[in-house]
């Protein structure tokens, strides 16, 4: 029997690698889907015979669908095998994407985009939840790898759109190619057994049901994702209105931010295996505050904006996956818990960019970077409260008898 143990461990390790790779493939597909809407808006506007201002409503519909998908997904992953749920969501996403360029009515297109967002929320919650169940306490570097693969998909999506338009003269082939990419990944996920949630009875009950800690973490996700979405969504308009660059250079600056975010996630993979999540989050937040401080202090300097953009992208990169890793160490991560995280994240991604939009004209473009800085300052306060709460929980559990 002892001779069989190494083989059993090797087989188990091989299955874990395969499962990790399918979640990475799913997140490349998720990145492709998420980044496909923006570059194709002019074509969609032409197909639906509307203008850009009206067609931009699709962003709101997708975010709403994502929120609804995140809320619903937690219960599904807790009650059903996770991989079939995730595979079905990807299959539906592929089918919906292939239908998008064929829809001539804006109201019908809005419904389809809402459903696409729903599938995105389902896949996002699933990938994060199932990876935690698979790797448990050693999830740190794998979680950063998961979000790095999302960045790869987000970077590749505009390239696929540009090539499709260049080769065929129409954006439609971009959606058809993206939809076809989803199908084999969906089939692959369904064929692999799902990881199971394992309740850890060794943890004190308080650490498994700490509502106050959960509320702090949800607020952290709300503020951080709001800051990330606001920077990526508004840096282009901010650059032009502050007179810091042309439309071309502003577009390059936007790409620079997302490129720095992707590189930062790649760098975070080995770092996450050496640093505790609390230490890593502290460094990330300090780097973001420093970078945004440079932008706000030297608000009329193009050089300061470039340096601050690179720094913000790199230090923002690992906050989301590291926060999930920190949460996993402090409480039991069920599908429902992960859903709450993503409800906070998707709500922040809608709310803060909208607030900046309301203030941009009456207050001025400088409100953009100031609002993002304030959001991350409040995130830092919440982070400190999370650490203090955990210390209290640990000390109380150590004082319990037995």
Q: Are residues 146 and 232 in the same domain?
A: no
Residue 36 contacts residue 161 (beta carbons within 8 Å): yes
Q: Are residues 43 and 120 in the same domain?
A: yes
Q: How many angstroms separate the CA atoms of 333 and 136, rounded?
A: 9
Q: How many angstroms separate the CA atoms of 120 and 86, rounded?
A: 10
Q: How many angstroms separate the CA atoms of 344 and 336, rounded?
A: 13
Q: Is residue 175 part of a domain?
A: yes
**Is 246 strand, coil or helix?**
coil
Q: Are residues 187 and 211 in the same domain?
A: no
Q: Is residue 263 part of a domain?
A: yes
Return the biggest CA–CA distance within the chain.
75
Q: What is the reported pLDDT for 236?
A: 79
Q: What is the reported pLDDT for 396?
A: 41
Q: Are residues 381 and 262 in the same domain?
A: yes
Q: Are residues 159 and 267 in the same domain?
A: no
pTM of the model: 0.72
Q: How many angstroms separate the CA atoms of 372 and 376, rounded?
A: 6
| Residue 173, H or E segment | helix 172-191
Tokens of 353: 């960019």
Q: Given 191, 216, 235, which residue is the final one in a domain?
A: 191
Q: Given 159, 191, 223, which residue is the final one in a domain?
A: 191
Neighbours of 2 (CB within 10 A): 5
Q: Are residues 180 and 226 in the same domain?
A: no
Q: What is the reported pLDDT for 393?
A: 46
Provide the 8-state DSSP code for 62: H
Q: What is the reported pLDDT for 179?
A: 93
Q: Which residue has the tokens 């402090």?
A: 330
Q: Is residue 332 part of a domain?
A: yes
Domain count, the chain: 2
Nearest CA-CA partner of 368 in 312, 285, 286, 315: 312
* Residues spanned by the domain of 136: 15-191
Tokens of 281: 């989050």
Q: Is residue 2 part of a domain?
A: no
**What string of pLDDT tens digits covers the 402 residues of the chain?**
444 455 444 455 667 888 889 999 999 999 888 877 766 777 888 889 987 667 767 877 888 898 899 888 878 888 888 899 999 999 999 999 999 999 999 999 999 999 999 999 999 988 888 888 888 777 778 888 888 898 888 778 777 877 887 888 888 998 999 999 999 999 999 988 888 766 655 544 444 457 888 999 999 999 999 898 888 877 877 888 899 988 777 777 877 888 888 899 889 888 888 888 899 999 999 999 999 999 999 989 999 999 999 999 999 998 988 998 888 887 877 778 888 888 888 888 878 887 887 888 889 889 999 999 999 999 999 999 998 875 544 434 333 333
Give ∠ CA 181-186-188 in degrees, rounded to 5. Answer: 105
Q: What is the reported pLDDT for 198?
A: 64
Q: Is residue 274 part of a domain?
A: yes
Q: Which residue has the tokens 């699709």?
A: 58
Q: Is residue 198 part of a domain?
A: no
Domain with residue 21: its CATH number is 1.20.1250.20
Sequence-ordered list of residues with C-beta below 8 angstroms from that of 401, at least 6 positions apart, any chain: none
């Amino acid at each position: 029997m002892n001779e069989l143990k190494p083989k059993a461990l090797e087989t188990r390790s091989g299955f874990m690698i395969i499962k990790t790779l399918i979640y990475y493939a799913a997140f490349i597909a998720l990145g492709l889907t998420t980044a496909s809407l923006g570059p194709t808006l002019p074509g969609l506007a032409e197909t639906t015979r509307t203008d850009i201002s009206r067609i931009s409503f699709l962003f709101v519909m997708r975010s709403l669908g994502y929120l609804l998908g995140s809320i619903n997904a937690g219960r599904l992953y807790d009650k059903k095998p996770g991989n079939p749920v995730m595979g079905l969501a990807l299959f539906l996403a592929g089918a919906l994407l292939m239908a998008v360029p064929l829809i001539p009515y804006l109201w019908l297109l809005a419904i389809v985009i809402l459903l696409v967002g729903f599938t995105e929320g389902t896949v996002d919650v699933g990938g994060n939840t199932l990876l935690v169940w698979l790797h448990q306490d050693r999830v740190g570097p794998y979680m950063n790898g998961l979000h790095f693969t999302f960045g790869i998909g987000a970077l590749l999506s505009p390239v696929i759109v540009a090539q499709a338009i260049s080769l065929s003269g129409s954006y439609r082939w971009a959606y058809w190619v993206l939809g076809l990419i989803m199908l084999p990944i969906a089939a692959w996920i369904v064929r692999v057994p799902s990881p199971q949630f394992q309740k850890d009875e060794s943890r004190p009950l308080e650490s498994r049901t700490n509502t106050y800690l959960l509320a702090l973490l949800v607020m952290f996700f709300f503020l951080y994702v709001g800051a990330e979405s606001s920077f990526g969504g508004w840096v282009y308009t901010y650059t032009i209105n502050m007179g810091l660059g042309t439309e071309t250079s502003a577009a390059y600056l936007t790409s620079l931010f997302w490129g720095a975010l992707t590189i930062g996630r790649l760098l975070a993979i080995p770092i996450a295996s050496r640093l505790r999540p609390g230490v890593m989050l502290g460094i990330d937040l300090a780097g973001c505050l420093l970078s945004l401080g440079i932008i706000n202090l030297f608000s009329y300097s193009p050089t300061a904006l470039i340096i601050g953009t690179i720094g913000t992208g790199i230090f923002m990169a690992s906050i989301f996956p590291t926060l999930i890793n920190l949460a996993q160490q402090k409480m039991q991560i069920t599908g429902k818990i992960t859903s709450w995280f993503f409800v906070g994240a998707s709500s922040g991604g809608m709310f803060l960019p909208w607030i900046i939009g309301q203030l941009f004209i009456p207050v001025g473009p400088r409100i953009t970077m100031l609002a993002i800085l304030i959001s991350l300052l409040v995130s830092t306060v919440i982070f400190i409260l999370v650490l203090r709460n955990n210390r209290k929980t640990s000390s109380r559990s150590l004082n319990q008898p037995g």
